[in-house]
Structure 1
Amino acid sequence: MSLSSHLQELKKKHQTLSDHVEVMQRAPGVDDLELAKLKKKKLQIKEEITRLATH
């Protein structure tokens, strides 16, 4: 897999997580632990995108 296609895939995953987090935040009775896990995963992906894009 080339670097650009890997970055594209990471960006898609990040956007999907972002959309999911938004939906969860609007829902009543949301599981705070699950939401925190999703946000952490989203941040990890964002950091990896940044790291790869700067190299």
Structure 2
Amino acid sequence: MTIQAHIASLEKKHGDLEEELQTILSSPSADDREIAEVKRRKLRLKDEMQRLKANTRH
């Protein structure tokens, strides 16, 4: 898998997590721990995408 393909895959996963987060937030029984976990996963993906993008510029 090329770096660009890997970044694209991470971007898709990030978007999927955003959709999951919106679904959780719209639920009246939203669990704070579940919200925090999805946000952490999104942040990890974002950090990884930024790291990979920075490495491709060098």
Q: TM-score, normalised by structure 1?
A: 0.93
Indicate the RMSD between aligned Cα atoms, in angstroms.
Answer: 0.7
Name the structure 2 match of 1:7: 7
The CA deviation at 1:23 is 1.3
**1:25 counterpart letter in structure 2:** L
Name the structure 1 match of 2:45: 45
**Gaps spanning 5+ residues in structure 1: where?**
none
Structure 1 runs (4+) deviating above 6 angstroms are none
The count of corresponding residues between Structure 1 and Structure 2 is 55
**1:54 counterpart letter in structure 2:** A
The CA deviation at 1:44 is 0.4
Name the structure 2 match of 1:20: 20
The CA deviation at 1:48 is 0.5
The share of aligned pairs that are identical, in percent, is 35
Q: TM-score, normalised by structure 2?
A: 0.89
The CA deviation at 1:14 is 0.2
